[in-house]
Amino acid sequence: MNYIAIPPSSHEELLWDQYVSQKPHATGYHLIGWRRIVEQTFGHTTMYFAAMDEQGLLRGALPLVLLSSKMFGRFLVSLPFVNYGGILADDAQTQNELIDTAIQYAVKVRATHMELRQVESAGLAFPSSHRKVTMKLRLPDDFEALWKQFPSKLRSQIRRGQKEGMSVRFGGMDCLDEFYGVFARCMRDLGTPVYSKHFFSTILRSFPKEARICLVCRNDETLAAGFLYGFRTSLEIPWAASDKRFSRLAPNMLLYGSVLEHACKEGFREFDFGRSTPDSGTYRFKEQWGAQPHQLHWYYWVEDGEKLPQLNPQNPKYDLAIKVWQRLPLIVANWLGPHIVKYLP
């Protein structure tokens, strides 16, 4: 077995996607298109390691992105900015040898740690975090059956938006400006640096069939928006936002209700609400729709003597920074955010 780094824009990249398409635990973020999204948007170095047999067929794949800054350090992630990633392999031996190849690279580039965002347990002999779950909802053949499963209070909240004259629209690049406007405001209000609009436009260009946007509007004003990404039979909403100035009108409830209806009509069998911390507010929000938790397994190779990384908003050391960010003028937050968030996994 040969363990190689897949060159960009090579024939091996085609083999990579063919391999991903065959693996049951693969996610849409394993597709090679995300390599170009990360490189073009953030300028990070990517290293896509593959195990290749004597016939030239892939038997394992591990996508990695190198993040490096004075503020947050130097480390590898599979994959940053999204919920999933990690290693795919045909067997334990291939998996272990592919991991060893990645560790050798980590040492070479002086990375302090490597993070693998596995959907399923990989049985790796590394420290792991089980702090997050992903919330998933099995979808029936038609939305009417799902609607009947919703509690009466939830149905009433969805209807509230309709009674307030809100409309729903699905689209692609034509909806990007409206999506980004409400998303950027929401991120500022949460105290979180926002991604650049270029990030989302690159996703839409790279995956024109798989990525789409949903808008909830009233009187030509966008009140809530979601960015959707489909892979196989699952539809995910990795980024969603609503304008808190209109929270009493519950536009976010109409957003999710409309997206679920859309998912059923498009033939998806599962809706992925994204990752949450158990018993948090976002966890309970997703749970009310009938979503069930599925444990995520994030593994860490850590350089000798180093502690497990804590690059997340729950880390108390970032409390002051979050409070300051929430007070920034929106135009300042939108300009500064992309320069910071590119180093936050």
Nearest to 177 by CA among 231, 218, 206, 220: 220
> What per-residue confidence (pLDDT) applies to 71?
84
Write out the residue range of the structural domain in which residue 192 sits. 134-295
Angle, in degrees to the nearest 10, between helices 176-190 and 319-326:
130
289 and 160 share one domain:
yes
Report long-range pairs for 39-44 (Cβ below 8 Å, ≥24 apart): 39/8, 40/202, 41/195, 41/196, 41/198, 41/199, 41/202, 41/342, 42/199, 42/342, 43/342, 44/80, 44/342
Q: How many helices (H) and strands (E) does the chain have?
A: 11, 15
CA distance 256 to 152: 16
- Under 8 Å CB-to-CB from 74, ≥6 apart: which residues? 66, 67, 68, 109, 110, 111, 112
- Tell me the residue length of the chain: 345
Provide the whole-model pTM.
Answer: 0.94
- Alpha helices by DSSP H, 76-151: 92-108, 143-149
Structure tokens at 100: 């060893």
**Position 327 in a domain:** no
Distances (CA, A) of 76 to 169, 193, 285, 344: 38, 20, 32, 11
66 and 101 share one domain:
yes
256 and 267 share one domain:
yes
Q: What is the CATH number for 65?
A: 3.40.630.30
Judge whether residue 185 has pLDDT over 70. Answer: yes
Q: Tokens 């304008």 belong to which residue? A: 243
Q: 194, 41 in Cβ contact below 8 A?
A: no
Judge whether residue 94 has pLDDT over 90. Answer: yes
pLDDT of 103-145, one tens digit each? 999 999 999 999 999 999 888 888 888 889 999 999 999 999 9
157 and 285 share one domain:
yes
pLDDT of 6-47, one tens digit each? 888 788 899 999 999 999 999 999 999 999 999 999 999 999
